[in-house]
Every structure is written in C-alpha cells, then in structure tokens.
Structure 1
Amino acid sequence: MADITTTELRQRLQAGETPHLIDVREPWENEEASIPTAQNIPLGSLPEKLDDLDAWKDEEVIVHCKSGSRSSQAKAYLTQQGFSNVRNLLGGFTEYSAG
C-alpha cells in the first residue's frame, strides 16, 4: 500500500475519519505532542502488542514517528506479520505538526 502524506491525513481527520493510527515514538515524545486518536506503541514494543492489533490485520493502519524512519521499520515489521494495508506517514510528526 502506498504511504500517506500529512496533507491527506489532516484532511481525513478534519472530515471526521478515525483511521487506525499508531505512533511508534517513545512515550516521552508522544507526551510532548501527538496526533489525536493515535495509539502510542513504541517501535520496540510492537512485537508484544501484536495480539492487541490483530483485529486490524485487514484494515488500514497508519504508522508514524518523528521523521518517518522508525515508522518505516514498523511498516515493514507489520507487513511481515501479515498486516495487509500498512501506510507510513511521510515526513512523520515533524511535517504533520508544521502544517
């Protein structure tokens, strides 16, 4: 699945959509600022949280971090675990918060 731009995500959230958002930054980063409705699951904790996310395997899941590096790893990992529609937020939270 193609990645998602911050503009597209912002438009969807403003339209009232509630996509499955996973913030793979560390808790302290999430506490400073976050995207509404994003669930904070640090990249290193994804393996132990897989069971909690099982219902989303065939649904769109958007992952993000600060710049896109960790979320790119999260996308690859989730895809390897059978998630069929994982999208990385291009530019990460840095670009999202700048818009």
Structure 2
Amino acid sequence: MDIISVEELKARMDAGEKLHIIDVREPEEFEAFNIGAKLIPLGRFQMMDVDELMPLKDEEVIVHCRSGKRSMTACLILDSMGFTNTKNVEGGMLAWQEKFGS
C-alpha cells in the first residue's frame, strides 16, 4: 500500500486519467458527499466480498474513506488478497473537503 494525497488525486482526475477509485464509507456518507468513486463499504472487504475488484489485481486501485483509517484497512485486505498496487487517500474526504470544498 502506498499513499496518495488529495491534491495528487484531484490533479489526476482533472487530467481525465482513467482511475479505479473505491469509496469504503457507508451509503449514507456516500450520498451526503462523494467524488464519483465506486462505493464498496468496508464491511464487504472484511467479509472478502469484493470479487468485482479481482480483475484489477495488477492495476492501481485508489481507496478512500472519511479520514483515511477505513481505507487503510481496505488496502491492507486487498494487499493480503494479492493486489499489487493499492493507494490510500491520505486524510480521506475530510482532507478533500478542507482543500477543495464539497
């Protein structure tokens, strides 16, 4: 697992890069504010119920949550499943909103 800053992530999104971004927050958090990531709550990672991500095993997978803690857990789970390029968004959506607003 590596770290990616919200600034780097936003720059890459603004540049139109095709990114695999996963939001591991709960649905109500996602509905309140999101950056267009795919929602897969952390509980599904903990149950290893992430089969739809398996085709991305050798690609970069960027994971975020509210503050960076749940996404770090999700990255560690993916790493244990053989994913080779996971990135945790440092500071999560709190950092995003502080830097860019909502």
Is TM more than 0.5 here? yes
CA distance in 2, matches of 1:20, 1:80: 18
CA distance in 1, matches of 2:41, 2:55: 19
Q: Which residue of structure 2 lines up, in the alignment, with residue 63 of structure 1?
A: 63
Q: Which residue of structure 1 lines up, in the alignment, with residue 88 of structure 2?
A: 88
The residue type paired with residue 40 of structure 2 is I
CA distance in 2, matches of 1:15, 1:98: 21
SS at match of 1:31: helix
What are structure 2's unaligned runs of at least 5 residues? Answer: none
CA distance in 2, matches of 1:97, 1:54: 30
What are structure 1's unaligned runs of at least 5 residues? Answer: none
Following superposition, the deviation at residue 17 of structure 1 comes to 1.1
CA distance in 2, matches of 1:26, 1:18: 24
The residue type paired with residue 31 of structure 1 is E
SS at match of 2:49: helix
- Number of equivalent positions: 97
CA distance in 1, matches of 2:20, 2:82: 16
Q: Which residue of structure 2 lines up, in the alignment, with residue 17 of structure 1?
A: 17
Name the TM-score, length of structure 1 as normaliser: 0.94
Q: Which residue of structure 2 lines up, in the alignment, with residue 39 of structure 1?
A: 38
Name the TM-score, length of structure 2 as normaliser: 0.91
Q: Deviations over 1:13-51 (max 9, x none)?
A: 000112100000000000001012x000000012112x1
Q: Deviations over 1:52-80 (max 9, x none)?
A: 11110000000000000000100100000
SS at match of 2:17: coil
